[in-house]
Amino acid sequence: MNIIFDLDGTLIDSRTRLYSLFCHLVPDVSLSFENYWQFKRSGIGHEHLLGLLNKNEAGYFESFHKSWMELIESDEYLQLDKPFDGVEILLKSLTQNKCKLFLLTARQFPEKVYMQLQGFGWADYFCEVMVTGQKVTKKDMLKRLNIQFSSTVMVGDTGSDIANSNEMGAYSIGVLSGFHSEETLLKYNPNTVVGSVTDINVQNPMGI
């Protein structure tokens, strides 16, 4: 069986990184961590959120987005990421059960993904690490994989992850540890929704 994991919000808790950068870029707005993620998990993107915060003057979002992309994968902010509890045990157990593990992320810089995986001790668990580099879509990368999607599980925390999985004919698992709420994820018709990746049935990932 093949299992394709998303990274941020699925294996790694990146909420502090994103919230910290948002506060850095919009220092005059008082928005708590909980409120920020309440907006994000309900599917509200930054452009909409900035509008709600009355930051909608001409060019504001474009400037914000440019700075965001320049800083979000800097070493300063990446060091705020933490692996979710139990992820290494999960990856090890799945590997021992002869599952082939893949990683698919929309990060910009492959080398920083590899460094992070090595830092967490996860690099050897994945037979392939796919990073879009913000140059292609996740779907494009999936189409290049020479695997049987009917025997593949895709695990992610966003609606687009679920949509890609369903379109490729894989078994889709949505996790609630990241960017979208259960209500938002269910709109994309996942096969299963779990609280976190550690809720996956190691013996039978399609039989949760």
Helices (H), the chain: 15-25, 33-41, 46-52, 60-71, 75-78, 87-96, 110-120, 138-143, 159-168, 182-186
Architecture of domain 2-13+82-199: 3-Layer(aba) Sandwich (3.40)
Mean pLDDT of 143-153: 93
What are the backbone dihedrals phi and psi of residue 172, each rounded to the nearest 5 degrees, phi first? Answer: -100, 130
* Residue 13 CB partners (closer than 8 Å, separation 6+): 81, 82, 83, 84, 177
pTM score of the predicted model: 0.92
Condensed to tens digits (0 to 9), the pLDDT of residues 87-145 reads 999 999 999 999 999 999 999 999 999 999 999 999 999 999 999 998 999 999 999 99
Tell whether the model's pLDDT for residue 201 goes beyond 90.
Answer: no
Q: Is the pLDDT of residue 207 over 80?
A: no
At residue 43, the pLDDT reads 86
Confidence of residue 208 (pLDDT cuts 50, 70, 90): low
Separation of alpha carbons 124 and 91, rounded Å: 10
Q: Grade residue 204 by pLDDT with cuts at 50, 70 and 90.
A: confident
| Residue of 5, 3, 1 whose CA lies nearest to 113 | 5
Tens of pLDDT, residue by residue over 8-45, are 999 999 999 999 999 999 998 889 999 999 999 888 99
Domain residues of the chain, as ranges? Answer: 2-13+82-199, 15-78
Question: Cα–Cα distance between 173 and 160 in angstroms, integer?
Answer: 12
- The predicted-structure confidence for 51-80, as pLDDT tens digits, reads as follows 999 888 888 999 999 999 999 999 999 999
Please provide the average confidence, as pLDDT, over all residues in the chain: 93
Indicate the length of the chain as a whole number. 208
